[in-house]
Amino acid sequence: MRFQTEIFRRYLSKQQSGTDHTTTQIIEPHPLETRNMPVLGGKLFLGSYTLSASGGYSIEPDYSSTFGSIYNSFEFNNKLSTLTFGYKFSNNHIFRAAPPTGGAHDHGGTSDDFNADNTYRTYSIAFSQVFSKNTLAYFNGEYTRKRGFLSNPYKLVYVKGVLTAVDYLLVGLKTPLDNSNKGWKYYTGVDLVPMGIDLYREVRPDKRDQWSISAGVNQYVSALDGALHLNYRYQWDDWQLRSHTLALSWYQKLPFGFMLKPHLRYYSQTAAEFYAPYFLAPRADGYYSSDYRLSGFGKVSGGLTLSKQFAKGVTLSGGFEYMTQRSSLQLGGKGDSGFADIDSYLLSAGLNINLSSLGRGLADQHKSHKHHHHGGHAPAGLMNGHMLSEAGQFMISYNYANSNWAEGFQQGRRTGIGDQELVNQACRGAGGICEFKATEMRMDMHMLNFMYAPTGWLNLMLMPQFAYMKMDMASVPFSTPPGFHENIGLGDTILSGLIKLYDNGQHHVHLGIGVSAPTARIDVTFDGFLNDTSLVQSYGMQLGSGTWDLKPSLTYTGHVDQWFWGGQLSGTKRMQNHNKLGYALGDEFKGSVWLGYRPLDWLSFTVRNQYRNKGSIQGQAKRMLHIVDPNKQGDTPQLTTNINPKNYGGKFWDIGLGATLTVPSGELAGHSLSVEWLQPVIHDLNGYQLKRDGTLLVRWGYAF
């Protein structure tokens, strides 16, 4: 009752003050979003026919999709002409919880949970023709059929004249108590869901048919050793949206395998028939949207992309693009008075690895290359385990680690910790008692390793990391789950060098000296925003250390016949007393010994014993101390066990079992795939922490 009355009071105050009604486009800051999207595809070559198919699924916090495609290409006219038929589909589910009061999407009105579905079907035909060794032209046509929920559940529209403020107040009070479930339409007479005074969820048609045609030409200019790509596309649909796209790009070859691509693009579209910045009266068809992407505007963008092909099938690229969007740039100059004027820029970086091309292009090189794995590969979870032995060699590897914590709490070596002990003890010294605990945590770490040998005794490495973390939470002592939070993003970046100290063909020793640069965020908040009032997530949920760290290592390997073994000492020393939030993670020491056996040239097995000592967190983070419950007397912090810096670190003893597959010859020679499972044996934890179930480690590598 007080909430609705306050809305009514603020509305009357605004009306009486004569608030300025100038139309303004407001783009709210968006919280951190995550997407996991595995895709699997393949091609089948049958003479002049090529059949390709792919499929996968995508998961986001409020969206899931399954999708796939199939294409059939036919070459004729001495392979100078190609005709391709294609089909794509996606089945999508949109869902979101009601925005919390005072949150980013709370506009002072009523709201509820949301679920909807839609389907996309696309049919395409393409024709390309080679006119000469320097000229290629093509023509494409496409039809897309969309059905289901096609609105944006986060977009609101201003519609005058549907409900008065008094009606909104009365209906808002009545509807939650109405057991007939008549819904808002019973009171408003239209398919609009009120989200505030004169604010409603947008409503778009549940059908959309789109058509597009495009044509282009690629022209190689031998005098400049470059190529011009020109493309035009026209698209229209039954929402009365028409668009033109003209794209121009130049591909210029540079020395040392570099490629420079400047590009320019112009785009213009008309507005959808149900779009307006605001509505002063209800529409007869019941469709409304103020999404600026459906407005009339023109857009000009341009940029540069620089790429480097290290070997056939391996390409690194980086680019910059600037975009300006203006209503005045629309063809015909009939835009929407600057409502959708936006400027933006985009920085990008990419790594492309074509495994089949890589293998075919470099297979012969492996006949003469020797890689010093000394009888077998080191376990998948061991970093800096081997060196490239010849000057000029290069290696790319991908490392994945998945860890899960879900077996209850442990203090020291003691398990079976109850909720009451957590309440009384786990947050002692952090400013209050524990009222929340983690019930499960998952961490996925992805690392790329670029290794280059400028000499036979020195290897240089660059290792960027990417992390995903999710933590489920519950309250104590009643364990009512309030939900979960997650993070995803770039981790810290490691630069390292390996120096060969000794090698007689059977025994090998090398020294590693690495530095970890604090490229990761350590201020990820619960609501995803970067303002100074948002509560920062716990230490273990941040993406990096926030400090410059020294990472030394010393590795020994040896082998006799099919047997091989090794040992490594490594550590992490924080070179700063605290990061920008006022704390520093503890130093680490790690020791491993392993034994391996290679029964076949392409298969080996390892068993590893690992000990790790991880120090406690030094200092205490700002904006991570407590959440105050306004319904309680005084300033009583509601803490989680993860907020207490004493609940981090410890001594860990694990046993690892692993296997490695290698390709010693053929088109894919030089590839290797290693898998290792790291099983906890004895963990002596600092404070109160979740027990780790285990860690899965996977490494793919290619050296050439």
What is the domain-level CATH number for residue 621?
2.40.160.40
Identify whether the C-beta of residue 691 lies closer than 8 Å to the C-beta of residue 410. Answer: yes
In a shared domain, residues 453 and 387: yes
Percentage of residues in the chain with pLDDT exceeding 70? 78
Whole-number mean pLDDT of the chain? 81
Cα(633)–Cα(621) distance, integer angstroms? 25
Burial of residue 48 (number of CB atoms within 10 Å: 0-12, 13-18, 19+): exposed
Helical pair 165-174 and 2-17, crossing angle rounded to 10 deg: 170
Q: Residue 670 above 90 pLDDT? A: no
In a shared domain, residues 433 and 296: no
Domain presence at residue 514: yes
- Its domain, for residue 549, covers 370-703
What is the band of 172 on the pLDDT scale with cuts at 50, 70, 90? low
**pLDDT value at position 508?**
94
**pLDDT value at position 212?**
97
- What pLDDT digit, counting tens, does each position of 4-45 carry? 333 334 334 444 444 445 556 655 555 556 677 778 888 898
DSSP E strands: which ranges in 16-97? 39-46, 49-60, 63-76, 81-96
User: How far, in Å, are 140, 209, 220, 230, 428 from residue 214 at the CA level?
Assistant: 5, 17, 20, 11, 66
- What pLDDT digit, counting tens, does each position of 267-316 carry? 999 999 999 888 988 888 889 998 888 989 999 999 999 998 766 567 78
Lowest mean pLDDT among 12-21, 140-149, 218-227, 384-393: 12-21
Cα(190)–Cα(445) distance, integer angstroms? 49
Domain presence at residue 100: no
Q: Which of 355, 379, 414 is the last residue of a domain?
A: 355
- What pLDDT digit, counting tens, does each position of 553-611 carry? 999 999 999 999 999 999 999 999 999 888 999 999 999 999 999 999 889 999 999 99
Percentage of residues in the chain with pLDDT exceeding 90? 42
| Mean predicted confidence (pLDDT) in 633-644 | 64
Give strand pairing partners of 124: 86, 142
Identify whether the C-beta of residue 301 lies closer than 8 Å to the C-beta of residue 325. Answer: no
What is the domain-level CATH number for residue 242?
2.40.160
Amino acid at 118: N
**pLDDT value at position 223?**
92
In a shared domain, residues 431 and 342: no
**pLDDT value at position 367?**
43
In a shared domain, residues 495 and 612: yes
Going by C-alpha positions, the residue among 20, 274, 30, 28 that lies closest to residue 157 is 274
Domain presence at residue 80: no
What is the band of 698 on the pLDDT scale with cuts at 50, 70, 90? very high
Cα(640)–Cα(427) distance, integer angstroms? 7
Q: Residue 524 above 70 pLDDT? A: yes
Backbone angles phi, psi at 107, to 5 degrees: -110, 25
In a shared domain, residues 251 and 160: yes
Burial of residue 156 (number of CB atoms within 10 Å: 0-12, 13-18, 19+): buried
Lowest mean pLDDT among 121-125, 230-234, 327-331, 358-362: 358-362
Domain presence at residue 392: yes
Give strand pairing partners of 449: 397
| Mean predicted confidence (pLDDT) in 229-251 | 96
In a shared domain, residues 400 and 349: no
What is the band of 169 on the pLDDT scale with cuts at 50, 70, 90? low
**pLDDT value at position 554?**
96
Domain presence at residue 250: yes
3-class DSSP state for residue 313? coil
In a shared domain, residues 136 and 244: yes
In a shared domain, residues 335 and 459: no
Going by C-alpha positions, the residue among 313, 417, 407 that lies closest to residue 363 is 313
Q: Which of 325, 355, 385 is the last residue of a domain?
A: 355
Q: Which two tokens stand for residue 522?
A: 């350590």
pTM: 0.64
- What pLDDT digit, counting tens, does each position of 102-115 carry? 443 343 444 455 78
Domain presence at residue 60: no
Question: Which contiguous run of DSSP H or E holds residue 687?
Answer: strand 671-703
In a shared domain, residues 406 and 455: yes
N residues, the chain: 704
Who contacts 180 (Cβ-Cβ below 8 Å, separation ≥6)?
A: none
**pLDDT value at position 485?**
73
What is the band of 231 on the pLDDT scale with cuts at 50, 70, 90? very high
Domain presence at residue 13: no
Q: Which of 301, 320, 355 is the last residue of a domain?
A: 355
In a shared domain, residues 342 and 382: no
What is the band of 436 on the pLDDT scale with cuts at 50, 70, 90? confident
- What pLDDT digit, counting tens, does each position of 477-496 carry? 655 555 667 777 888 999 99
Domain presence at residue 449: yes
Give Rg (Cα) of the chain. Answer: 30
**pLDDT value at position 349?**
80
Domain count, the chain: 2
Q: Residue 343 above 50 pLDDT? A: yes
- What pLDDT digit, counting tens, does each position of 54-95 carry? 999 888 777 889 999 999 999 999 999 999 999 999 999 987
In a shared domain, residues 550 and 654: yes
In a shared domain, residues 431 and 345: no
